[in-house]
């Protein structure tokens, strides 16, 4: 019988999806004794998982609850199979991405400030702010008080499970979508990441939702941000190090672009870090996937992979 270790904090009702002929072992945060397992479902918080790992023996398969697995291979070594949690937080992260885009285009942070001040007439500050951010110097009447997502040119960098979900959520807004992934594909049309620099100047919104690899580290640097159009929105729902933070701070301070990020580098973002005080940025502290449905969905993904493993079938999310 396979011994499957999982975080003790996972609600018991989410475990019913696992095969009946396995032994489920709850692993507390403070695990101190050696524990023999065949399969390990690590805690989604990496620091907690790293404290548990030294006490585990015999692990042959790791079923991550998260899509990102960059820390696992250096920890468990080359002889352990690793599966990501691809699909577990696709809906929640895709919804965050859409929310972040609308938050910035509808200038929600500014209007929250108007509400806090309780001064209705502050709304008339927006036309000048809009012109400063976008460089749109047209004389428009009535004055521009918000922007629309409908019809925007969107560059989606990453077309895995979450990227595809983001595309589905964007469809009702009739955006002009350009897809980018590690390699080019024909159906649907996907550009190779090597074409990114050529695609950036036309995009009004750039969404990053690709894995962190040596190739994607600082994929968005000073040169790439310099290629972006005035007032373009950069959305990072991937990993913080996909973006060069120093370059992002410079681009925001110069007024060239705006940004919405759920991930940062470093992370946690230290108190007093210059990114906190940059203009035209929305920052959430890596919360996009954290909804009441996450653990339930992650257990379903892990259980499905475990059944395939037990039957000797190809694993869908093997890294």
Which residues are catalytic, by number? Answer: 239, 267, 286
Give phi and psi for 286, each to the nearest 5: 50, 60
């Amino acid at each position: 019988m396979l011994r499957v270790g999982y975080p003790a904090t996972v609600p018991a009702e989410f475990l019913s999806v696992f095969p009946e002929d396995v032994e489920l072992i709850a692993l507390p945060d403070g695990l101190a004794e050696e524990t023999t397992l065949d399969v390990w479902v690590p805690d989604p918080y990496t620091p907690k998982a790293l404290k548990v790992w030294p006490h585990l023996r015999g692990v042959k398969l790791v079923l991550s609850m998260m899509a990102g697995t960059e820390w696992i291979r250096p920890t468990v070594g080359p002889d352990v199979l690793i599966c990501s949690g691809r699909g577990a937080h696709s809906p929640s992260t895709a919804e965050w991405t859409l929310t972040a885009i609308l938050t910035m285009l509808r200038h929600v942070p500014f209007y929250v400030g108007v509400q806090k001040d309780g001064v209705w007439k502050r709304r008339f500050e927006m036309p000048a702010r809009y012109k400063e951010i976008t460089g749109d110097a047209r004389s428009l009447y009535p004055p521009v008080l918000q922007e629309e997502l409908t019809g925007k040119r969107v560059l989606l960098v990453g077309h895995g499970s979450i990227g595809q979900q983001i595309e589905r959520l964007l469809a009702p807004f009739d955006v002009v979508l350009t897809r980018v992934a590690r390699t080019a594909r024909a159906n649907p049309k996907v550009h190779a990441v090597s074409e990114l620099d050529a695609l950036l100047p036309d995009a009004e919104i750039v969404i990053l939702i690709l894995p962190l690899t040596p190739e994607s580290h600082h994929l968005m640097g000073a040169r790439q941000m310099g290629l972006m159009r005035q007032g373009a929105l950069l959305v990072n729902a991937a990993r913080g190090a996909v973006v060069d933070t120093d370059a992002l701070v410079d681009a925001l301070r110069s007024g060239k672009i705006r940004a919405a990020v759920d991930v940062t580098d470093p992370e946690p973002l230290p108190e007093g870090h210059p990114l906190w005080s940059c203009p035209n940025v929305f920052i959430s502290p890596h919360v996009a996937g954290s909804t009441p449905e996450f653990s339930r969905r992650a257990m379903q993904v892990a259980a499905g992979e475990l059944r395939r493993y037990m039957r000797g079938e190809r694993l869908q999310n093997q890294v």
